[in-house]
Structure 1
Amino acid sequence: MTSSSTGRRHDARGRRVLITGASGTIGRTLGERLTRSGARVVGLDLRPGGDEPFPVIACDVTDDARTAAAVEEALDVLGGLDVLVNNAGVGGPAPAEFAPGTEVRRQLELNLLGTWRVTAACVDALVAARGRVVMVTSRMAVMQLPLAAAYGASKRAMVAYADALRLELGTHVSVSCVYPSAVRSPIHDSTKAAGLSLEGMSVYEPLDGVVDALVRTALARRPRRDVATTRRGAVEFFLARHLPALTDRVVARTLAARARSGVFDGAELAAGVVERHRSGT
């Protein structure tokens, strides 16, 4: 572990970083950026692409034994661990009005419990290095959007897990949560296929800005507890935390307009939302 720093950041050179979801849109870009800066990066991913500029180990983070084995292999390659970036995640259509099924369980298992498994396997190495955990959460962890209850619930639970981890390991390990809004990536494909696209309800933000925020958080000498990725995101985060009734009204008003406009027509999972809004006019 390097102890040198440049400005308000640690020098990336030689820092040992483990990234989950490392072959996806955010994970790969982050890994490339850190690798170019001189960090030693290893990734975990269910389906490694094979062409990442850093080693990626195949790992199903929903499996206890496979996760433990993959983390052990990664730590052997790195020789320890300075930064863990919990980035692996999955989204999909999951309206709150329906009983939880396979899709809900899939998102909770991967987004929450997968994060928990990987982190627990890394604790000893992080404590030894006085390292850092960076959680890639979501704006939906504080400001829920409709028709995607499982994703918001899993990300809010991920933040609660981070809070508990911070209290338990805070003498030796820092824990930061980063809250991006939507980034254009395949994670949204299943929601679009179900006719539940949240275009117009969530503002897409540039990938580079999200990665910039993650790099700053991973290397900051004094990491922040909660990190928004844009100025708009910081405002939304503040309002959602301090004026939740106001943000509820804004989201509800936007949903009503979209439901009445026909955006969700033909989407079976949104039929109840459409009917209730149209019958209420």
Structure 2
Amino acid sequence: MTSWRTGFEEVTVDVAGKVVLVTGAARGIGAEVARRLAARGAKVALVGLEGEQLREVAAECGGRAWEADVTDWDALKTAVDGVVDHYGGLDVVVANAGIAATGFVRSIDPAAFERVIEVNLLGVWRTVRTCLPHLIASRGYCLVVSSLAAIVHIPGNAAYSAAKAGCEAFADSLRAEVRHLGVGVGVAYFSWISTDMVDSADRHPVFGPLRSGMPGLASKKYPVSAVGKAVVRGVEKRARTVHVPRWVGALKLFRAFTPRVVDTQAAKSVPAADRAMATADPTTSSLVGPGGEAARKG
């Protein structure tokens, strides 16, 4: 392994001893990433909601937990200051915290829609802005978690797609702004991953069949372990992009054509789904999974 890079060529670096802050680390992707980085010797700082669960994961990792809502400036500052005071600095940030809501635009709970935007996009912006002075000091690395949803915008997923597309654009601009300061910025794109969030969405009476009925690889779910491995590699290489599965990277080359493909597929399934959504119990068009419930309370 080489030392932490100061240039911009892609090299492999040793994360052992590096201080890594992971948001949304109580479960799912965040917890998996924290465990795998800790196993490589990183000093992990877990930030998120669901305090008890967060502390359990931190204990498994030999790290520390800071309970904070990523949309709360004051709570974030307190958490980041605590991380820096405890570990003496900050080398890597994985801006992972995210939630989802199921529902069509005309019938979804407006509060749920806006909470997705607030957590998934504004939460990333607030996390990065709060951590950025410390990353500049360490010439560190930031990985913003976007999604396949930033590339393929399916019905019933408008809030999530809008937020993740915003994350991608935000990270691309940020990279150009901080490169001369020695900070690397990457964007992660994941397809459907077997997490509590996706599994809960699959139990939705309308969105679940829509998602599982998508053609070919578009409906397949991938293990969270695959994401953990890919993110560790991405952090070690200070990568510009991380893709799970790898075909997501190839799909980006054809993104101009994806809206037409979605339109064609949706014509077969959306009319009935739209009627079902419009007449469904309003509680079914809200935030999904334990993380969504924690964000709703937050």
TM-score category of the 2 structures, normalised to the smaller one = 0.7 to 0.9
Q: Following superposition, which runs of at least 4 residues in structure 1 exceed 4 angstroms of deviation?
A: 97-100, 262-265
Q: For 1:102-251, list aligned pairs within 5 A.
A: 102-171=111-180, 172-188=182-198, 189-190=200-201, 192-193=203-204, 195-197=206-208, 198-201=211-214, 202-220=219-237, 223-240=238-255, 244=256, 246-251=257-262
Task: Tell me the distance in 1 between the aligned counterparts of 2:76 and 2:202.
Answer: 27
1:41 aligns with 2:52: no
Stretches of structure 1 that go unaligned for 5 or more consecutive residues are: 271-281
Please provide the CA RMSD for this pair: 2.4
Task: Tell me the distance in 2 between the aligned counterparts of 1:208 and 1:191.
Answer: 20
> Which segment drifts farther, 76-85 or 127-136?
76-85
Q: 1:187 to 1:163 in 2, by over 3 A?
A: same
Q: Indicate if the aligned counterparts of 2:193 and 2:224 stay in contact, CA closer than 8 A.
A: yes
The higher-RCO structure (CA 8 Å, 6+ apart) is 2
Task: Tell me the distance in 1 between the aligned counterparts of 2:86 and 2:235.
Answer: 20
With the length of structure 2 as denominator, give the TM-score of the two structures: 0.80
More helix by share: 2
- Identity rate, percent: 31
1:63 aligns with 2:72: yes
With the length of structure 1 as denominator, give the TM-score of the two structures: 0.85
Out of 264, 267, 271, which is 1:256 matched to?
Answer: 267
Stretches of structure 2 that go unaligned for 5 or more consecutive residues are: 281-298
Q: 1:135 to 1:42 in 2, by over 3 A?
A: same
How many residue pairs match? The answer is: 261
Task: Tell me the distance in 2 between the aligned counterparts of 1:99 and 1:204.
Answer: 24
| Pairwise CA distance, 1:88 | 0.3
SS at match of 2:265: helix
Q: Indicate if the aligned counterparts of 2:105 and 2:158 stay in contact, CA closer than 8 A.
A: yes
Name the structure 2 match of 1:32: 35
Q: For 1:78-97, list aligned pairs within 5 A.
A: 78-97=87-106
| Pairwise CA distance, 1:98 | 5.5
| Pairwise CA distance, 1:227 | 2.6
SS at match of 1:267: helix
| Pairwise CA distance, 1:8 | 4.4
Q: Indicate if the aligned counterparts of 2:104 and 2:277 stay in contact, CA closer than 8 A.
A: no
